[in-house]
Amino acid sequence: MKFRIYRYNPDVDAAPYMQDYDLDVEAGDKMLLDALLLIKEQDDSLSLRKSCREGVCGSDAMNINGRNGLACITPLSSLSEPVELRPLPGLPVIRDLIVDMTQFFKQYHSIKPYLINNDPPPETERLQSPEQRAHLNGLYECILCGCCTTACPSFWWNPDKFVGPAGLLQAYRFIADTRDQATSERLDDLEDPYRLFRCHTIMNCVDVCPKELNPTEAIGKIKDMMVKRMV
Amino acid sequence: MVNRVVVGAHYGLRDWMIQRITAVVMAVGSVALAGYLLLKGRFDYDVWTGLFASLPVRTFSLLFLLSLFYHAWVGIRDVVMDYVKSAAVRLVMHVLVILALILYAIWSVQILWGM
Tell me the CB-side half-sphere exposure of residue A127, using CA atoms within 13 A.
5
CB contacts, 8 Å: A230 with chain B? 13-14, 17
Query: pTM here?
Result: 0.91
ipTM, 2 decimals?
Answer: 0.85
Please tell me the predicted confidence (pLDDT) of residue B43.
Answer: 82
The answer to whether A84 contacts chain B (CB < 8 Å) is no
CA-to-CA separations, A55 to A58, A103, A170, A209, A212, in angstroms, rounded: 6, 22, 18, 11, 12
Domain boundaries, chain B: 13-113
CA distances from B23 to A17, A217, B27, B35, B63 (A): 46, 21, 6, 18, 12
Q: Sign of torsion, CA B43 B49 B52 B53?
A: negative
Chain B environment of A188 (Cβ under 8 Å): 10
A61 in Cβ contact with A88 (< 8 Å) = yes
Kindly state the average pLDDT of the residues A122-129: 92
pLDDT at B2 over 90: no
Give chain A's mean pLDDT.
95
Whether A33 has a pLDDT exceeding 70, the answer reads yes
Give chain B positions within 8 Å (CB) of A195. Answer: 7-8, 12
| Cβ–Cβ < 8 Å for A200, B22 | no
Instruction: Answer whether residue B33 shows pLDDT above 70.
Output: yes
Distance from CA of A11 to the nearest CA of B (A): 30
> Quick one: average pLDDT of A45-67?
95
Residue A83 main-chain phi, psi, to 5 deg: -75, 115
Instruction: Please enumerate in sequence order all residues whose Cβ is within 8 A of that of A204, keeping only pairs 6 or more positions apart, or say none.
Output: A148, A151, A152, A153
Multiple choice CATH, B13-113, 3.20.20.70, 1.20.1300.10, 1.20.1050.10, 2.120.10.70: 1.20.1300.10
H or E segment and range at residue B95: helix B87-112
Distance CA A204, CA A195 (A): 17
Indicate if the pLDDT at residue B1 is higher than 80. Answer: no
